[in-house]
């Protein structure tokens, strides 16, 4: 693929994602009855934008990384979902606008999310109301960013949990059956997922030692992860990625809550509007966050 073709495909997919997200949520009233503010968070290369949804002081703050294959997605595509999760759970939420490929290839997104998380947990008292604890969360590629950030901060007492929504964990060459079985079953196809990986990694081969940053299992056995909520969807090339992670984390002794949604496709929780599946996820996450706060 030429540079021009790459640019055009990136532009088209970003436009499609923004448009489809806007249409999916257009029929549902937006949660506007709480305070929202925007801020800039310092990183090693400059600043990243973030959107802060203000919740309650007795709840952990959710640090959220949006999905989109490290290439598409932004604060606006996930704004309705972040509003819904913050309102239902009572948690303040910080959505991170990390840099995207191909303009900013690997490890830009991972560096931004790690740096932003470090800054947030060091400044909890100055941010939206929170209990002094943080939960790392994300969907799809954002689920990968949450897992990778947690792996880099093992032992950090102010991080009390992780939420991973149909996360990317392994490379597409890992031999996961769902990449074939559900290659075209939902909005995320196997070919698009491969393109996301190739676009983000650029000239770096999947086997390169540098990629242990993105492939958590190469540098972490998960045994010291905090309590975690993991969700997968049936009609999703990433289905077996999440299922395998659930097994590994359970064997490592992690206090994991795992829920598989057998009638849903990739994106159901965050990107398809206030569907029944989305509502079920929000109820699950709200209950899990409540129990996490209680303990």
**Residue 266: active-site member:** yes
According to the model, what pLDDT value does residue 3 have? 87
The phi and psi torsions of 170 (rounded to 5 degrees) equal -110, 160
pLDDT in tens, 275-288: 999 999 999 999 99
According to the model, what pLDDT value does residue 178 have? 98
List helix spans (H) across 132-258: 141-152, 178-181, 190-201, 239-251
Backbone torsion region of residue 207, taken as left when φ is above 0, otherwise alpha when ψ lies between -120 and 50, otherwise beta: alpha
Contact status, residue 237 vs residue 189, Cβ threshold 8 Å: yes
Task: Select the CATH number that applies to the domain covering 3-294 from these four: 3.90.420.10, 3.40.50.1820, 3.40.120.10, 3.20.20.105.
Answer: 3.40.50.1820
Element at 52 (helix H, strand E)? strand 46-53
Looking at residues 233-238, what average pLDDT do you find?
98
Which of 255, 258, 223 lies closest to 244, judged by CA? 258
pLDDT at 31 over 70: no
Marked catalytic residue, from 21, 89, 95, 140? 140
**Residue 295: active-site member:** no
What percent of the chain has pLDDT above 70?
99
Model pTM?
Answer: 0.97
Looking at residues 229-249, what average pLDDT do you find?
98
Which of 246, 224, 233 lies closest to 182, judged by CA? 233
Marked catalytic residue, from 266, 271, 278, 293? 266
Q: Quick one: 123 exposed, middle or buried, by C-beta within 10 A (0-12, 13-18, 19+)?
A: exposed
Distance CA 98, CA 110 (A): 8
Distance CA 99, CA 109 (A): 5
pLDDT in tens, 183-222: 999 999 999 999 999 999 999 999 999 999 999 999 999 9
More confident residue, 293 or 64: 64
**Residue 112: active-site member:** no
pLDDT band at 33 (very low <50, low <70, confident <90, very high): confident
The two counts, helices (H) then strands (E), for the chain are 8, 8
Looking at residues 125-140, what average pLDDT do you find?
97
Looking at residues 151-157, what average pLDDT do you find?
97
Distance CA 153, CA 226 (A): 11
Backbone torsion region of residue 226, taken as left when φ is above 0, otherwise alpha when ψ lies between -120 and 50, otherwise beta: beta
Marked catalytic residue, from 115, 236, 240, 241? 236
- N- to C-terminal Cα separation, the chain: 51
Which of 197, 87, 99 lies closest to 140, judged by CA? 197
pLDDT at 109 over 90: yes
According to the model, what pLDDT value does residue 34 have? 76
């Amino acid at each position: 693929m030429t540079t021009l073709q790459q640019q055009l495909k990136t532009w088209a997919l970003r436009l499609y994602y923004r448009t489809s997200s806007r249409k999916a949520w257009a029929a549902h009233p937006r949660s506007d009855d709480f305070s929202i503010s925007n801020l800039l968070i310092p990183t090693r290369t400059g600043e990243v934008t973030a959107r802060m949804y203000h919740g309650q002081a007795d709840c952990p703050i959710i640090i959220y990384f949006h999905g989109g294959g490290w290439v598409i997605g932004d604060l606006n595509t996930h704004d309705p979902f972040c509003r819904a999760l913050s309102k239902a759970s009572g948690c303040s939420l910080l959505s991170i606008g990390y840099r995207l490929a191909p303009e900013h290839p690997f490890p830009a997104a991972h560096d931004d999310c790690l740096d932003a998380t470090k800054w947030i947990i060091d400044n909890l008292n100055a941010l939206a109301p929170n209990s002094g604890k943080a939960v790392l969360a994300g969907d799809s590629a954002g689920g990968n960013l949450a897992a990778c950030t947690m792996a880099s901060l093992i032992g950090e007492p102010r991080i009390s949990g992780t939420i991973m929504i149909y996360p990317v964990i392994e490379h597409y060459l890992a031999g996961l059956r769902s990449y074939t079985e559900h290659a075209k079953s939902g909005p995320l196809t196997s070919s698009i997922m491969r393109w996301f990986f190739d676009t983000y990694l650029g000239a770096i081969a999947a086997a390169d030692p540098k990629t242990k940053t993105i492939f958590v299992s190469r540098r972490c056995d998960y045994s010291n992860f905090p309590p975690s909520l993991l969700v997968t969807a049936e009609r999703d090339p990433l289905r077996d990625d999440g299922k395998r992670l659930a097994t590994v984390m359970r064997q490592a002794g992690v206090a994991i809550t795992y829920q598989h949604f057998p009638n849903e496709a990739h994106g159901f929780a965050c990107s398809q509007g206030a569907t029944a599946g989305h509502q079920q996820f929000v109820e699950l996450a709200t209950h899990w966050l409540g129990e996490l706060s209680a303990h």
